[in-house]
Amino acid sequence: MPSTDARILRGAAIPTAVAGVIAVAIATAVVGTKGLLGALFGVLLVVGFFSFGQVALDRLTRNNPQIFMAAGLMVYTTQILLVGIVLAVFKGTTLFDTKVFAFTLLGCALIWTAGQVRAAMKAKMLYVVPEAPSERAREAEPERRS
The structural domains of the chain, with segments of one domain joined by +, span 3-140
The span from the CA of 79 to the CA of 97, in Å, is 22
**Mean pLDDT in residue range 38-66:** 87
Query: Left if phi > 0, otherwise alpha if psi is -120 to 50, otherwise beta: which for 17?
Result: alpha
- pLDDT of 3 reads 67
Q: What is the pLDDT of residue 116?
A: 85
Q: What is the mean pLDDT of the chain?
A: 83
Position with higher pLDDT, 140 vs 25:
25
Residue 122 above 70 pLDDT?
yes
* HSE-up of residue 3 (Cα within 13 Å, Cβ side): 4
What average pLDDT does range 65-78 have in this prediction?
A: 86
What's the confidence (pLDDT) of residue 22?
Answer: 94
> What's the pLDDT band for 127 if we cut at 50, 70, 90?
low
Higher pLDDT, 24 or 54: 24
At 8-49, the pLDDT tens digits run: 888 888 999 999 999 999 999 998 999 999 999 999 999 998
Query: Which are the contacts of 80, defined by CB distance < 8 A and separation ≥ 6?
Result: none
